[in-house]
């Protein structure tokens, strides 16, 4: 007597299409994951030629009929004055040597402050800023913030603190179409990043919240007060020696 077999009906066209879409999505996500790790690994050793923000600033100026040249000159960490490194840490992320990419205490304080303030307060670490400026676009969205967090973890794991700070000092926007401490030092102070003083380094750090509005070359009263504050913070942190453990 022949064995009975169960014949399963073939998937409907809609089901097959859904499976293909799911498989394609998985492949795209896997490819994106692999590419992101590869890029982070490459830029651990290779200086970036440009960043998405540099491109955006150049195109924006060109479309507005203005000068679109980008001022950017990569300089190795050891050829940048230690005063520049401690200045940006004192201004932007004083817990930089100690956190793992996210300063949870600052995030908590900013969350509380933003409940009562009209102007929101940020809590991004230097690592988060590098993640955004190196690999992502300059806008506010949950998707971008999620990707920023992902790249922040990768940078901390693959790059380490000194490389993160080196890249930040080179790609941070410090003036109109001016990126990095070397280009900013030469444009605004007429000297290399290796020779800037503590006061000059603090002035560059002082404009970081809005480098297109504020000027390090012609600092307003507000920027001068911020510069004074940053120099005091540098002294309280112990100067460049604070970063010796990186």
Distances (CA, A) of 102 to 126, 207, 210, 228: 9, 23, 22, 27
Q: Regarding predicted confidence, which is higher, 52 or 115?
A: 52
Cβ proximity of 178 and 216 under 8 Å: no
Cβ proximity of 82 and 243 under 8 Å: yes
Q: Regarding predicted confidence, which is higher, 10 or 78?
A: 78
In a domain, 110, yes or no: yes
Q: What's the pLDDT score for residue 104?
A: 87
Residue 174 three-state SS: strand
Cβ proximity of 234 and 198 under 8 Å: yes
Percent of the chain with pLDDT over 90: 74
Tokens of 173: 């926007």
In a domain, 66, yes or no: yes
Q: Regarding predicted confidence, which is higher, 169 or 14?
A: 169
Average pLDDT over residues 172-182: 97
Taking only the tens place, the pLDDT of each residue in 197-246 is: 999 999 999 999 899 999 999 999 999 999 999 999 999 999 999 999 88
Q: What's the pLDDT score for residue 18?
A: 79
In a domain, 2, yes or no: no
Q: Left (φ > 0), alpha (ψ -120 to 50) or beta: where does 15 sit? A: alpha
Residue 71 three-state SS: strand
In a domain, 169, yes or no: yes
179 φ/ψ angles, rounded to the nearest 5 degrees: -125, 130
In a domain, 143, yes or no: yes
Answer yes or no: is pLDDT of 36 > 90: yes
Name the pLDDT band for 24 (thresholds 50, 70, 90). Answer: confident
Q: What's the pLDDT score for residue 141?
A: 85
Cβ proximity of 217 and 196 under 8 Å: no
Please identify which residue in the block is written with the tokens 């000059």.
200
**Tally of domains within the chain:** 1
Q: What's the pLDDT score for residue 107?
A: 80
In a domain, 16, yes or no: no
Q: Regarding predicted confidence, which is higher, 179 or 10?
A: 179
Answer yes or no: is pLDDT of 7 > 70: no
* Domain span including residue 173: 51-243
Residue 178 forms beta bridges with which residues? Answer: 71, 175
| CATH code, 83 | 1.10.3810.10
**Listed residue (60, 40, 86, 47) closest to 171, CA to CA:** 47
Cβ proximity of 215 and 207 under 8 Å: yes
In a domain, 6, yes or no: no
In a domain, 201, yes or no: yes
């Amino acid at each position: 007597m022949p064995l009975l077999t169960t014949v399963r009906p073939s998937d409907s066209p809609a089901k097959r299409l859904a499976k293909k879409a799911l498989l394609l999505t998985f492949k795209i996500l896997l490819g994106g994951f692999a590419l992101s790790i590869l890029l982070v690994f490459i830029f651990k050793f290779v200086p970036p030629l440009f960043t998405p923000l540099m491109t955006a600033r150049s195109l924006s100026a060109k479309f507005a009929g203005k000068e679109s040249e980008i001022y950017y000159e990569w300089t190795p960490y050891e050829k940048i004055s230690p005063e520049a490194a401690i200045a940006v840490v004192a201004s932007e992320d004083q817990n930089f040597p100690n956190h793992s990419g996210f300063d949870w205490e600052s995030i908590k304080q900013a969350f509380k402050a933003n409940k009562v303030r009209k102007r929101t307060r940020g809590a991004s670490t230097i690592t988060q800023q590098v993640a955004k400026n190196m690999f992502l676009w300059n806008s506010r969205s949950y998707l971008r913030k999620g990707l920023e967090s992902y790249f922040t973890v990768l940078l901390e794991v693959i790059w380490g603190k000194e490389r993160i700070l080196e890249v930040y000092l080179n790609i941070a926007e410090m003036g109109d179409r001016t990126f990095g401490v070397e280009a900013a030092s030469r444009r605004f102070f007429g000297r290399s990043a290796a020779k800037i003083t503590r006061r000059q380094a603090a002035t560059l750090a002082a404009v970081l919240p809005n480098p297109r509005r504020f000027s390090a070359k012609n600092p307003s009263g507000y920027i001068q007060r911020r510069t004074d504050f940053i120099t005091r913070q540098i002294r309280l942190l112990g100067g460049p020696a604070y970063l010796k453990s990186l």
